[in-house]
Amino acid sequence: MTLLEDLQFRGLVNQMTDEEGLTELLEKESVTLYCGFDPTGDSLHIGHLLTILMLRRFQLAGHKPLALVGGATGLIGDPSGKKAERTLNEQGVVEEFSNKIKGQLSRFLDFGGEDGAKLVNNYDWIGSMSVIDFLRDVGKNFGLNYMLAKDSVESRIASGISFTEFSYMILQSYDFYQLFKEENCKLQIGGSDQWGNITAGLELIRKMSGQEDDERAKAFGFTIPLVTKSDGTKFGKTEGGAIWLDPEKTSPYEFYQFLINTEDQDVVKFLKYFTFLSKEEIEALEVEVQERPHERAAQKRLAEELTKFVHGEAALKQAEKISTALFGGGDLKQLTAAEVLQGFKDVPSHTVNDSEIGLVDLLVEAGISPSKRQAREDIKNGAVYINGDRCQEMDKVMEHEDKIDGQFTIIRRGKKKFYLVRYE
């Protein structure tokens, strides 16, 4: 399949300008394309991954991606898809976020050699622009009625939109023009909510190039679907918040578990969206979902492919090891302290100073059992497990062999109630 045919198979084509012209261009030459990432936080999240993977797909097909970090537009705020005005961050904060996002993007694209991907920051050309230059040279190309008709603006008129956010479309359009002029960038990609901004950029290129009828001045826009689950909710959101690409914010184990818990009705779509598996491999996994859903082969493959892509092979193995220890009958005592912290990040924890505390006292002190009487009853009934092993010793004292890496003990009461004991 050609690149566009593969994207069609994966359901990754939402809208494009001049499909015939773009198809011909992609087949004829290596095309420079870009996608922007505004630094509104200190990490990208899994929702950004679809556009990152799109840049990667184009790169693997022989094209050159530009990953734009919005050091300038991040100071303004994009109204697209938002119901209210963003809180504006200080320049120093945006610069810090920009540097972190640059580091993340450099993990996913090949920046080696002359034909490799390139990181750019729109603060480099917008930051030094004067208000007069902005209004005379760029703003004059945008009619008010044209801007008001864009969905990103029209949807905010009733609730209110400031001139600051209203101007965002012009700034993003100027990004496209600047990259078109300096990098010969002929294609911008983005989520479906960016269609208005992308087409405004195409209009600016047409006007500012001064060669409206010249095929060399032609650029293209391409959007991908916003990722939603079968129940209509947004992909990448959990009760605990977003699934981040930064392992300090979302551990590889949490990342892996989020994916392996994908619903059957969503998993094939997400395999198409987020992996580089072939059509034949995906169709085989689709059969697995239909005929043997209990084996969850498709979910395991999705979790493996994406965790390895984002966090690397070692982190994938670690996430699998923790998952096996917790849910697959593995040995909790084989976990390292770092793996315990990943796997039991959200369970109740208690710190003790007495390294040889009795089990009954520990159960009460840690709030696992409400009283010594109940603690003894729990132990007698076989409801207490130490690092996965049932313990019915009434006079049990916590010893060195009960401590994982000398730092933790995992206690389970009943079938599902886990507690983490830390030792000082």
Same domain, 388 and 281: no
Among candidate residues 211, 254, 318, the one with its CA nearest the CA of residue 45? 254
What amino acid positions are annotated as catalytic residues?
40, 45, 48, 82, 86, 172, 193, 234, 237-238
Same domain, 144 and 184: yes
Q: What percent of the chain has pLDDT over 90?
A: 63
**Beta partners for 33?**
65, 187
> pLDDT tens digit string along 226-256?
898 888 888 887 766 789 999 999 999 999 9
Residue 321 confidence (pLDDT) = 92
Residue 1 confidence (pLDDT) = 86
Residue 236 confidence (pLDDT) = 81
Strand, coil or helix: 147:
helix
For residue 12, give Cα distances in angstroms to 31, 59, 62, 294, 405. 19, 16, 19, 28, 46
- Cα 196 to the chain's mean position, in Å? 23
Q: Is the pLDDT of residue 32 over 70?
A: yes
Tell whether 168 is in a known binding site: yes
Among candidate residues 167, 188, 168, the one with its CA nearest the CA of residue 176? 188
Whole-angstrom distance, CA of residue 321 vs CA of residue 301: 15
Whether 310 is in a domain gets the answer yes
**Whether the Cβ atoms of residue 274 and residue 53 lie closer than 8 Å to each other:** yes
> pLDDT tens digit string along 103-144?
899 899 998 877 789 999 999 999 999 999 999 999 999 988
Same domain, 296 and 248: yes
**Whether the Cβ atoms of residue 67 and residue 117 lie closer than 8 Å to each other:** yes
Same domain, 214 and 322: no
Residue 362 confidence (pLDDT) = 92
Last residue in a domain, options 301, 329, 357 = 329
Q: Give me the residue label for tokens 């000398």.
A: 406
| DSSP type of residue 78 | -
Tell whether 385 is in a known binding site: no
Q: Give me the residue label for tokens 């696992």.
A: 368
Whole-angstrom distance, CA of residue 41 vs CA of residue 58: 26
Average pLDDT, the chain: 90
* Local confidence band at 213 (pLDDT 50, 70, 90 cut-offs): low
- Cα 195 to the chain's mean position, in Å? 21
Residue 86 confidence (pLDDT) = 67
Whether 197 is in a domain gets the answer yes
Cα-Cα-Cα-Cα dihedral sign, residues 119, 5, 276, 295: positive
Residue 90 confidence (pLDDT) = 86
Residue 321's contacts (CB-CB under 8 Å, 6 or more residues apart) are 330, 334, 335, 339
Strand, coil or helix: 393:
coil
Whole-angstrom distance, CA of residue 364 vs CA of residue 383: 14
Same domain, 315 and 358: no
Whether 159 is in a domain gets the answer yes
- Cα 390 to the chain's mean position, in Å? 39
Same domain, 188 and 252: no
Last residue in a domain, options 298, 329, 360 = 329
Cα-Cα-Cα-Cα dihedral sign, residues 208, 212, 214, 217: positive
* Local confidence band at 258 (pLDDT 50, 70, 90 cut-offs): very high
Same domain, 59 and 136: yes
* CATH number for position 380: 3.10.290.10
> pLDDT tens digit string along 57-106?
999 999 999 999 988 888 887 777 666 676 777 888 888 988 999 989 98
* CATH number for position 157: 3.40.50.620
Tally the C-alpha atoms within 13 A of residue 334's C-alpha that lie toward its C-beta.
Answer: 11
Output the six-digit token pair for 298.
């498709």
Residue 305 confidence (pLDDT) = 97
Same domain, 243 and 311: yes
> pLDDT tens digit string along 380-402?
999 999 998 999 999 999 988 89
Whether 356 is in a domain gets the answer yes
Same domain, 148 and 285: no
Output the six-digit token pair for 137.
């040279």
Tell whether 123 is in a known binding site: no
* Local confidence band at 164 (pLDDT 50, 70, 90 cut-offs): confident
Residue 345 confidence (pLDDT) = 84
Tell whether 34 is in a known binding site: yes
Residue 215 confidence (pLDDT) = 57
Question: What pTM, to 2 d.p., does this model score?
Answer: 0.86
Residue 147 confidence (pLDDT) = 84
Whether 343 is in a domain gets the answer no
Q: Give me the residue label for tokens 């034909």.
A: 115
**Whether the Cβ atoms of residue 187 and residue 219 lie closer than 8 Å to each other:** yes
Residue 22 confidence (pLDDT) = 94
Please count the other Cβ atoms lying within 10 Å of the Cβ belonging to residue 213: 7
Same domain, 163 and 294: no
Over the Cα atoms of the chain, what is R_g? 27
Whether 68 is in a domain gets the answer yes
Residue 406 confidence (pLDDT) = 87
Number of domains in the chain: 3
174 class by beta-carbon count within 10 Å (0-12 exposed, 13-18 middle, 19+ buried): buried
Whether 124 is in a domain gets the answer yes
Strand, coil or helix: 247:
coil
Q: Strand 384-386 and strand 389-390: pairing?
A: antiparallel
Same domain, 386 and 262: no
Whole-angstrom distance, CA of residue 248 vs CA of residue 244: 9
Tally the C-alpha atoms within 13 A of residue 190's C-alpha that lie toward its C-beta.
Answer: 25
Q: Is the pLDDT of residue 283 over 80?
A: yes
Whether 344 is in a domain gets the answer no
Output the six-digit token pair for 210.
């001064």
**Whether the Cβ atoms of residue 13 and residue 221 lie closer than 8 Å to each other:** no
Last residue in a domain, options 203, 224, 245 = 224
**Mean pLDDT, residues 18-34 taken together:** 93
Whole-angstrom distance, CA of residue 418 vs CA of residue 178: 55
Same domain, 294 and 409: no
Residue 23 confidence (pLDDT) = 94
Output the six-digit token pair for 21.
């012209």
Whole-angstrom distance, CA of residue 26 vs CA of residue 22: 6
| Angle (nearest 5°) at CA 416 between 394 and 315 | 110
Domain extent, residue 139, equals 3-224
Q: Give me the residue label for tokens 């001045």.
A: 217
* CATH number for position 272: 1.10.240.10
**Mean pLDDT, residues 335-358 taken together:** 87
